[in-house]
A and B are shown apart, each in its own frame.
Chain A
Amino acid sequence: MRRRLGPGFWIAACWILLVLAGALLADLLPIARYDETLAGPPRSGPSADHPFGTDGLGRDVFSRVVHGSRVSLGVGIGAVLLGLAIGGPLGILAGYRRRATDAIIMAFNDVALAFPSLVFALAVVAFAGASLRNVLIVLGVLGVPAWTRLIRGATLSFADREFVLAARVLGVRDSRILWREIMPNVAVPAASYAFIGMAVVVVAEGSLAFLGLSVQAPTPTWGGLINEGRTLMDDAPHVVLAPSLVMFLTVLSFNLVGDRLRALTDVRHSGLEPVRQAPPAAPAAPVHAVGDSLLQVEDLRTHFVTERGLVKAVDGVSFTLERGRTLAIVGESGSGKSMLIRSILGLLPGSGVDRSGNVYLDGDDLTRRTPEEMRHILGPRLGTVFQDPMTALNPVRTIGAQLAEPLRVHLGMNRKQAREEAARLLAQVGIPDPGRMLGRYPHQLSGGMRQRVTIAMALSCGPDVLFADEPTTALDVTIQDQVLRLLHRLREERHMAVVLVSHDLAVVREWADEVIVMYAGKVVERGPTAEIFGRTRMPYTEALLQAAPRLTDPAHHRLRVIPGRPPDLVDLPSGCAFQPRCAHARDRCVTEAPELLEDGHLYACWYPTGSPISEGAESRGR
Chain B
Amino acid sequence: MILLHRLVRLLVVLLVVTFLSYALLGLLPGDPTTQILGLSATEEARAQLRQELGLDQPLLVRYADWLGGLVTGDFGTSYINQVPVAQELAERLPVTLELLVAAQIVALGLAVPVGVAAARRAGGTLDQVLTAMSFALLSTPVFVLGVLLILVFAVTWQVLPATGWTPISVDLGWNITSVLLPAITLGAGQLAVYARLLRTDLIATLQEDYITLARARGLSPRRILWRHALRPSTISLITAVGLNLGALIGGTVIIETLFGLPGIGRLIVDSIFSRDYLTVQGGVVLISVGYVLVNFVVDLVYAAVDPRIRHA
How distant is A193 from chain B, measured CB to nearest CB, in Å?
15
Task: Say whether B184 faces chain A, with CB atoms less than 8 Å apart.
Answer: no
How distant is B12 from chain A, measured CB to nearest CB, in Å?
9
Residue from B29, B209, B220, B307 in contact with A392 in the complex, judged by beta carbons closer than 8 Å: B209
Task: Say whether B138 faces chain A, with CB atoms less than 8 Å apart.
Answer: yes
Cβ A268 vs Cβ B203 within 8 A = yes
With both beta carbons as reference points, the residue of chain A lying nearest to B15 in the complex is identified as A111
Interface residues of B (CB under 8 A from A): 13, 16-17, 20-21, 24-25, 28-30, 119-124, 127, 135-136, 138-144, 147-148, 150-151, 155, 200, 203-204, 206-221, 223-225, 227-229, 231-232, 243, 246-247, 249-251, 253-254, 257-258, 265, 268-269, 272-273, 275, 280, 283-284, 287-288, 291-292, 295, 305-308, 311
**A379-B217 in contact given A114-B291, A119-B250 (Cβ < 8 Å):** yes
Cβ B209 vs Cβ A117 within 8 A = no
- Inside 8 A of A395's CB, which chain B residues have their CB? 210, 232, 306-308
Cβ A443 vs Cβ B28 within 8 A = no
Cβ B155 vs Cβ A233 within 8 A = yes
Cβ A115 vs Cβ B20 within 8 A = yes
Chain A 204-236: CB-based contact to B (< 8 A → 1; otherwise 0): 001100110100000000010011011001100
Residue from B24, B123, B213, B292 in contact with A454 in the complex, judged by beta carbons closer than 8 Å: B213
CA distance A393 to B272 in the complex (A): 55
Cβ A115 vs Cβ B147 within 8 A = no
Cβ A251 vs Cβ B250 within 8 A = no
Cβ B250 vs Cβ A409 within 8 A = no
How distant is B218 from chain A, measured CB to nearest CB, in Å?
4
Cβ B307 vs Cβ A271 within 8 A = no
Interface residues of A in 345-363 (CB under 8 A from B): 345, 347, 349-351
Interface residues of A in 234-275 (CB under 8 A from B): 234, 237, 240-241, 244, 247-248, 251-252, 254-256, 259, 268-275
How distant is B14 from chain A, measured CB to nearest CB, in Å?
9
CA distance A33 to B251 in the complex (A): 33
CA distance A127 to B210 in the complex (A): 57
Is chain B's interface secondary structure helix, strand, loop, or mixed overall? helix
- Inside 8 A of A529's CB, which chain B residues have their CB? none
What 15 new A-B contacts, CB under 8 Å, besides A272-B121, A458-B217?
A: A114-B246, A116-B287, A120-B21, A126-B272, A211-B257, A247-B144, A248-B139, A271-B119, A275-B124, A384-B216, A394-B228, A395-B232, A396-B231, A441-B307, A457-B217
With both beta carbons as reference points, the residue of chain A lying nearest to B249 in the complex is identified as A116
Task: Say whether A489 faces chain B, with CB atoms less than 8 Å apart.
Answer: no
CA distance A443 to B307 in the complex (A): 8
With both beta carbons as reference points, the residue of chain B lying nearest to A126 in the complex is identified as B272
Cβ A117 vs Cβ B120 within 8 A = no
Residue from B139, B243, B257, B265 in contact with A255 in the complex, judged by beta carbons closer than 8 Å: B139
How distant is A329 from chain B, measured CB to nearest CB, in Å?
17
**A115-B17 in contact given A379-B218, A394-B210 (Cβ < 8 Å):** yes
Cβ A244 vs Cβ B144 within 8 A = yes
How distant is B289 from chain A, measured CB to nearest CB, in Å?
9
Residue from B210, B218, B243 in contact with A113 in the complex, judged by beta carbons closer than 8 Å: B243
- Inside 8 A of B265's CB, which chain A residues have their CB? 119
Chain A 115-144: CB-based contact to B (< 8 A → 1; otherwise 0): 111111011101111000000000000000
Residues of A in contact (CB 8 Å), total 89
How distant is A297 from chain B, measured CB to nearest CB, in Å?
17
- Inside 8 A of A396's CB, which chain B residues have their CB? 231-232, 305-308
**A119-B143 in contact given A111-B17, A271-B121, A396-B307 (Cβ < 8 Å):** no
- Inside 8 A of B215's CB, which chain A residues have their CB? 347, 378
**A271-B120 in contact given A110-B13, A122-B272, A392-B210 (Cβ < 8 Å):** yes
With both beta carbons as reference points, the residue of chain A lying nearest to B215 in the complex is identified as A347
Cβ A211 vs Cβ B232 within 8 A = no
With both beta carbons as reference points, the residue of chain B lying nearest to A467 in the complex is identified as B216
How distant is A115 from chain B, measured CB to nearest CB, in Å?
6
- Inside 8 A of B231's CB, which chain A residues have their CB? 396-397
28 A-B pairs whose Cβ atoms sit less than 8 Å apart in the complex: A114-B295, A116-B284, A119-B249, A119-B253, A122-B268, A127-B25, A203-B142, A207-B143, A207-B253, A211-B254, A226-B144, A255-B138, A268-B200, A271-B123, A272-B120, A272-B206, A272-B225, A275-B121, A342-B212, A376-B218, A379-B219, A382-B216, A388-B209, A397-B227, A409-B223, A443-B307, A443-B308, A458-B217
Task: Say whether A377 faces chain B, with CB atoms less than 8 Å apart.
Answer: yes
Cβ B253 vs Cβ A122 within 8 A = yes
Task: Say whether A386 faces chain B, with CB atoms less than 8 Å apart.
Answer: yes
Interface residues of A in 44-79 (CB under 8 A from B): none
Cβ A394 vs Cβ B246 within 8 A = no
Task: Say whether A391 faces chain B, with CB atoms less than 8 Å apart.
Answer: yes
CA distance A129 to B275 in the complex (A): 12
How distant is A244 from chain B, measured CB to nearest CB, in Å?
5
Cβ A210 vs Cβ B143 within 8 A = yes
